[in-house]
A and B are shown apart, each in its own frame.
Chain A
Amino acid sequence: EVQLVESGGGLVQPGGSLRLSCAASGFTFSDHYMDWVRQAPGKGLEWVGRTRNQAFSYTTEYAASVKGRFTISRDDSRNSLYLQMNSLKTEDTAVYYCVRIGTGNIDYWGQGTLVTVSS
């Protein structure tokens, strides 16, 4: 069974940093691209970014709203995905979802972790 479990969310002040983790199990993590998607309270879904797999040199893509502040990385030996978030703004407050890219596009979602940016 595919499982994606996010952790690391919490309350952080504006300008601060936070690192989210996603533990993957039930599939060959190293084969898959992985994305982060977020959802502000009461709002819709927003794509944050992607990491490709080793075959594509772990290259990344980012939404303009986070580019230069957020970094996506992965550790295939630990079956883990990460989101390093720096220079956080109040508008980054959201539930952050780790998602797997299967045939075509997103097939599995984690349960999400809440990040609150507030003073």
Chain B
Amino acid sequence: DIQMTQSPSSLSASVGDRVTITCRASQGISNYLAWFQQKPGKAPKSLIYAASSLQSGVPSKFSGSGSGTDFTLTISSLQPEDFATYYCQQYNSYPHTFGQGTKLEIK
């Protein structure tokens, strides 16, 4: 199975900051990488697919990049509603594994 490792596991930031979360795959996955946002007690929300393509309705403050084994999710100009847990997922091969999550907290 492909292992997905996110860093950091938690991150403190202030409103207005720009943050970057990293996701590393244990083997190459081309650009078959998605990002999700989850708020406490809620279902996840899809943000990005194919490493850098925004899902419909997702604001452009979210951006993704990477290919192969190393990927990043960048969130610009943080707002209170952006504080949540973020997950990456590879869908290059089965099983479609998720990273362990990165909790973004308000400083």
| CB-based contact B43/A109 at 8 Å | yes
Interface range for A: 20 to 34
Mask: chain A, 55-94; 1 = CB below 8 Å from B; 0 = not: 0000001111000000000000000000000000000000
| CB-based contact B97/A111 at 8 Å | no
| CB-based contact A47/B46 at 8 Å | no
| CB-based contact B89/A106 at 8 Å | yes
| CB-based contact B87/A47 at 8 Å | no
Min CB–CB distance B66 → chain A (angstroms): 15
| CB-based contact B50/A44 at 8 Å | no
Alpha-carbon distance between A62 and B94 when the two chains are bound, in angstroms: 8
| CB-based contact A105/B44 at 8 Å | no
Task: Name B38's closest neighbour in chain A (CB-CB).
Answer: A45
Min CB–CB distance B95 → chain A (angstroms): 5
| CB-based contact A45/B44 at 8 Å | yes
Mask: chain A, 97-111; 1 = CB below 8 Å from B; 0 = not: 100001111111111
| CB-based contact B95/A107 at 8 Å | no
By a CB distance below 8 angstroms, the chain B residues around A63 are: 95
Alpha-carbon distance between A108 and B38 when the two chains are bound, in angstroms: 13
Q: Which chain B residues have a beta carbon within 8 Å of chain A's beta carbons?
A: 1, 32, 34, 36, 38, 43-46, 49-50, 53, 55-56, 87, 89, 91, 94-101
15 chain-A/chain-B pairs, Cβ below 8 angstroms: A44-B100, A45-B38, A45-B44, A45-B89, A61-B94, A104-B53, A105-B46, A105-B49, A106-B49, A107-B46, A107-B49, A107-B56, A109-B44, A109-B45, A110-B43
